[in-house]
Amino acid sequence: MSLTTAYLTAQYILQIPLTSHLAADLVFLFIFSIGTAYFLSLEKHLWRFTSLYSLIDVFKYCAIILILFVGWRYLKGEGLATLIKFSFLFLIFSFSALNMVRILIRLAFERLRHPQVQTGANTVIVLGAGKGAELFIRESMKRADSAYKIEGLLDDDPNLWGKKIFGIKIYGPIKDMAKFVDSSTIQMIVIAIPSLDQDKLCEIITTAEELGMPVKILPSFEKLLINKNISPEDISMEDLLGRDAIQLDDTEVSNFIKGKNILITGAGGSIGSEICRQLIKLKPKSMILVDHSEYNLYKMSWELEHVFKYTQFVAVLASVNDFEVMEGVFRTHNPNIVFHAAAYKHVPLLEKQAKQALRNNFFGTKNVAELASLYGSEKFILISTDKAVNPTNVMGSTKRMAEVFCQNFNQSSETNYSIVRFGNVLGSDGSVIPLFKKQLKQGGPLTVTHPEITRFFMSIPEASQLVIQAGAMGKGGEIFVLDMGSPIKITDLAERLISLSGKRPYKDIEIVFTGLRPGEKLYEELFYESEGHIPTKREKIFIAKCSNNDFKGFEERLQVLEKSINHFHEEKLIEIISHMVPEATIDFSPKAIYGVDGGSGSDAN
């Protein structure tokens, strides 16, 4: 019908007489319109979801029919000048007629399905007028249950000022945010610029805090592609503390991993699980996942199989303390590379569990390291911590013992042993930021041990990528230290999280200082004073040039510890640790260990 109308209208405007060829023309249009529509699958487009892609297919449909029809009429002797005029009019009328109905149906469907925005929606100003803003606006306008009513947009591109996106005006640059908020009833600020750099993000957050406005940010395009609902998220500490993207040496890490069997201990933990994710794209022959937590191992296995569609892995429920089981793992799977991430890491808890800390953090490392040598692994990478530097606690001391053991063992083994040392990772299990978020949801207060306490922070993906890169670089015996940037005050983190939630620190949400916990330091260090600070070819990876360790004295005390660990009291074990790590300053008095004036006299497990 639309093609017939377009044909007759063009004929009328050009004053072409309707002669005997009218019937033949209409039959031609009818037959070829059906064939072309079938060829382009035009009938499969749902009219209520008409989009740009639908309009493009309609244009192709009209153009193909026009070319066929003009060719047929030309062969019939029609003049070229008349056909050119006819073609122009026919294309305009047919395209308009076919799409008008589709657009009207789409508009009616949207109106009936989503008649109005909810009355409780937040009035927002959107920063950025790019693709992210377009998707957010479209989603908000078509959903009746949308939590957002968009009042306007701000963008730094002057060519966009005064323009509109879906009827919503772009008022000016982002720096006018304060003026816009003051002159309207804005309740929230939404950032719609996925590529926004950290400095600009912090500037926006600071302005929003001064205005008392909560701020949210649209998720990355990767998330937008898989999420049905395009909804702003809270700004995370990862966003605020984000750093430049890691540029790995693809050739080096690919040669390091590709086609090899990779063993990851602690594979269900924060770092271990991310190493697994990072390794997939490097195409290892297989991955052997070891963890003593059934739930964590299940989660990682499910994610690899169902999210990443990766099946070349084996999940082994085992403790690194169990030498016989771990030997079975090495004997069966013959790993070429070992990433040893298994460790206990909770400082205050381990202060009262020296025996367990030793068994897991030190003797567990010793087990896996010796098996790597025994079964001919190429490389062993120990994941250490900044708490191993001048340790004041059991956890850091046991990790320092693991460092010294691996460096010593590297001298007598054909396996290359390297250590990677770094600080806290954002969002890891048991870390401060998840705790703050939990406390914030409960209405506060947020608890900080000391007003001046500082920590280094790094994102889990960044730390894991640098661990892999350092492992590829290692020749044996190095302690690689990751560039953690500047230390950050925990109090500042707490204040910023409260502000991001739209609340005021110390007014709406309190911050309470609880005092340093057992073994806790005010600040952490990445290097010993005696260690040289040697850069590598990777700007975020350094090598700690260690002073000579007393390996002989270490081994002598280790022999005593191995024979007696099951018989010593906690205070005796801590005393031995202090001798094995002379730089450690651990309070091994009964009061520090048990929290009372005297010990129980029995083994503490």
Residues marked as catalytic? 387
Cα(382)–Cα(471) distance, rounded to whole angstroms? 9
Of the candidates 127, 125, 123, 134, the one whose C-alpha atom is nearest the C-alpha of residue 203 is 127
Cα(575)–Cα(568) distance, rounded to whole angstroms? 10
How many other C-beta atoms are found inside a 10 Å radius of the C-beta of residue 456? 20
Structure tokens at 596: 């009372």
**545 within 8 A of 400, measured Cβ to Cβ:** no
Signed CA dihedral, 109, 113, 116, 117: sign only: negative
The helix/strand/coil state of 532 is: strand
Cα(157)–Cα(160) distance, rounded to whole angstroms? 6
The helix/strand/coil state of 537 is: coil
Cα(403)–Cα(384) distance, rounded to whole angstroms? 7
DSSP state at residue 505: B
Long-range contacts of 509-512, Cβ-Cβ distance < 8 Å, separation of 24 or more = 509/440, 509/443, 509/444, 509/445, 509/446, 510/444, 510/445, 510/446, 511/445, 511/446, 511/447, 511/448, 512/445, 512/446, 512/447, 512/448
Structure tokens at 460: 């889990």
For residue 445, say if its preceding peptide bond is cis, omega within 30 degrees of 0: yes
Signed CA dihedral, 318, 324, 327, 331: sign only: negative
H or E stretch covering 224: helix 221-226
SS3 sequence, 506-518?
Answer: CCCECEEECCCCC
Of the candidates 273, 274, 276, 311, the one whose C-alpha atom is nearest the C-alpha of residue 295 is 273
How many other C-beta atoms are found inside a 10 Å radius of the C-beta of residue 183? 10
